[in-house]
Structure 1
Amino acid sequence: MHAEAIQANLIAPLSRRAWVFALLLALTAVMMVLNLRIGSISYPVNDLIGALLNPAGKSDISYIVWNIRLPRTIAAALGGAFLAVSGLLLQVYFRNLIVGPFILGISSGSTVMVSLVMLTSIGLGFSGYAPYLNTIASCLGAYGVTALIVAIAARVRGGATLLIIGLMMGYLCGAVTSILTALAEKETIKGFVLWQMGSFSGFKWAEVWIMFIVGGLMLAGTYLMSKPLNALLLGEDYAASMGVDIRRFRLAILLLASSLAGLVTAFAGPVAFIGLAVPHMARLSLGTSDNRVLLPGACLFGALITSLCDLIARMWLSPVELPLSAITAFFGAPIVIYLLLKKGMKS
């Protein structure tokens, strides 16, 4: 009987996780279909399927689906997954549930570097390589802020202090961006302001492929690090005893987290709270801290929540499109408040 009870306890969580993953897959698929179907012009499901099966079709629906809605839908799902994994890695690194790429100012660092490309003459002569140039600049900005945050975090203790430092970094980066915007020419300001609001609109297939290939490789590398990540949760001494090179491993975590956040910011602009809120949602739903389970769970949650927020941003006050970060804040801000209150009550 005792052995049967233990086996039942092992099977129950696995069964629950299987149901959660199945539900997430189904909801994400439904949300992506809704993003393809609903817009300023909505199409019946049969017409949508016909357009998807005929990419070379000459009809208006085929053009809209394949050149406007499908790239945006895929980009939103990928972007949400990347931001969620970036946030999860940062939370493991700092051992703090209230950190994320936007909260720590990493996305703001990316914004500063992209503003240098978009608002100054740096990008002149490279217009044909704009996606690549923005991506490189965004990642460099993310690396720079991450390095500063790590240096400061080594000198302070307490999640609230780290949170405040991250917010101050965001304000400093925002100040630099504001100065560059004030000095820029009017022709360049409009495009930058639209980008800075955060949106997956206007995605081209070349940009989607960059996100898919580059981000996919980084996700694969992150998943291969699942076991060392679990070991790190138990402390650096334990991870070192398991053969993990702590110095190189921590550097790899930061590079992957910053690169994933920078990649999304380069194309979609700064998107708030997905990287902070989604990993916490995954932990609560899956009932585990095992990164072998959390990483794919965070990917699915990120894709689902970001796709939902993108749909709301498009349709809430249609034909006016709302900033994506304004919608994601409604999901993320309450979770930040909850975590801070929970931590305050424990202390």
Structure 2
Amino acid sequence: MPEARAAIAAPRPPRAVAQRASPQARRLWLLAAAAVACIAAFMTLGAQGGWSFILPFRGGKLLAMLAVAYAVAVSSVLFQTITHNRILTPAIMGFDALYLLIQALVVYVFGQAAVATDHPVAAFLLEVGVMTAFACLLFRWLFADAVRSLHLMMLVGIIFGLLFRSLSSFVIRLIDPNEFLVLQDRMFANFNSVRLELLPVALAVMGAVSLLLWRMRSRYDVLALGRDIAVNLGVDYRRTLLATLAAIAALVSVSTALVGPVTFFGLLVSNLAYQLMGSDRHRHALPAAMLLAVVFLVGGQTLLERVLRLNTTVSVVIEFLGGIVFLALILRRGRR
């Protein structure tokens, strides 16, 4: 009896301590340390000249990469949650193809001078507004009658993506070759030509979207269990789904309009996050995907620019790796 009373009276370890000691927490701390190391290397490695010039110049590129890493990671993980499929990403809805079509039409109608417009913020908001409005109208139309239209949404997204790419190819054939060179720079994500005046607007939009997602954060682990279970547990499935899809559309639109299209990047970081964490819970998968995105973008840019002295865009290398991961996932599913 005295031993039993002593065991009952003994203080139990706090829950927070147990969480900090979990394998997922330790892996997140290691990822955070790697992300900080990549950021420090990017800002200091090979720095020559006055810091008054280096810090603002590199800081702007760093802030753009961090914004893209956050937007792509969050949108990819949440899109895979609501579609219950780890192979799909928001790019399946044709956002990248729509972005290229908008750029091609602008260059064809207004000429290459329109790309270097004196009102970049207005052009940026127009691009984001068009892509977000397209996504929201598509989502509202598909989910107007039945929630079972989720697979129909993916099919329609693929069809729209093919349509936009075909129209882009047609418009590109009509463009003057000299103007096509200007358009070609926007076909791939480029962090060297980011306009710093766009960052405050992009961060403001991302902040508003993040606030909406934060308010719904407790529902996503339930949504991952499936529609029927989520409804039985009291989640307003249709409203949460549409709000999440609108937030994903805004994040992808801001990221694409800011630096250009990155098709397979979200697929790469989200699946690596699942594998590394060994958990589908969003409190583990989301921060892991964001930190991995920072490591890939910032670390890859540092490696190419500062170590290898190459002018290759880091997005090309990341898209190559993401394509390999996509093929590996397809082949692994085909063997099951």
1:63-83, CA deviations, whole angstroms, 9 ceiling, x for partnerless residues?
24313x211111112201211
How far off is 1:305 after superposition? Answer: 1.6
3-state SS of 1:98 partner: coil
**Larger C-alpha radius of gyration, 1 or 2?**
2
Q: 2:212 aligns with which of 201, 205, 221?
A: 221
Counterparts of 1:306-317 in structure 2, within 5 Å, are: 306-314=297-305
SS at match of 2:186: helix
CA contact (8 A) 1:111 1:265 kept: no
- SS of the counterpart of 1:288? coil
Show the counterpart of 1:73.
62
Match of 1:282 in 2: 273
* Aligned with residue 85 of structure 1, among 74, 88, 103: 74
Indicate the percent of aligned positions where both proteins have the same amino acid: 22
Q: Return 5+ residue gaps in structure 2 as ranges.
A: 1-12
User: Which amino acid counterpart does residue 35 of structure 2 have in structure 1?
Assistant: T
**Which residue matches 1:271?**
262
Shift of 1:91: 0.7
SS at match of 2:119: helix
Determine helix, strand or coil for the equivalent of 2:194: coil
Is the contact between residue 106 and residue 141 of structure 1 (CA under 8 Å) also seen in structure 2? yes
Aligned mates of 2:181, 2:221 — CA distance in 1: 45
Q: Partner of 1:21 in structure 2?
A: 28
3-state SS of 2:165 partner: helix
Q: When the two structures are superposed, what TM-score results if normalisation uses the length of structure 2?
A: 0.80
* TM-score (normalised: structure 1): 0.78
Judged with a 3 Å threshold, the aligned counterparts in structure 2 of structure 1 residues 156 and 125 are, in CA distance, closer, same or farther, namely closer
User: Would the aligned equivalents of 1:81 and 1:301 in 2 still touch at CA under 8 Å?
Assistant: no
Contact residue 135 and residue 246 of structure 2 kept, 8 A? no
Structure 1 residues 118, 31: closer, same or farther in 2, change over 3 A? farther
Aligned to 1:98: 87
Task: State the alpha-carbon separation in 2 of the partners of residues 265 and 157 from structure 1.
Answer: 24
Match in the other structure for 1:3: none
3-state SS of paired residue (2:261): coil
Task: Give the CA deviation at 1:224.
Answer: 2.7
Structure 1 residue 127 corresponds to structure 2 residue 117: yes
Cα distance, 1:62 vs structure 2: 2.5
**CA distance, structure 2, for counterparts of residue 316 and residue 165 of structure 1:** 43
Secondary structure of 1:254's aligned partner? helix
What is the SS of the residue equivalent to 2:191? coil
Contact 2:107–2:114 (CA<8 Å) still a contact in 1?
Answer: no
- Cα separation, partners in 2 of 1:154 and 1:119, compared to 1, 3 Å: farther
Residue 322 (str. 1) matches residue 312 (str. 2): yes
What is the correspondence of 1:109-128 to structure 2 with a 5 Å cutoff? 109-121=98-110, 127-128=117-118
Contact residue 262 and residue 319 of structure 2 kept, 8 A: no
Q: Give the gaps of 5 or more residues in structure 1.
A: 1-6, 48-58
2: CA distance, partners of 1:165 / 1:342: 25
Q: Counterpart of 2:215 in structure 1: which amino acid?
A: L
CA deviation after TM superposition for structure 1 residue 15, in Å = 2.1
Paired residues of 1:272 and 1:328 also in contact (CA < 8 A): no
The residue type paired with residue 189 of structure 1 is: F
In structure 1, the residue matched to 2:330 is 340
Contact 2:79–2:245 (8 Å) recurs in 1: yes
- The code of the aligned residue for 2:230 comes to A
Alpha carbons of structure 1 residues 75 and 22: separation in structure 2 relative to 1, 3 Å: same
Partners of 1:271 and 1:324 within 8 A in 2: no
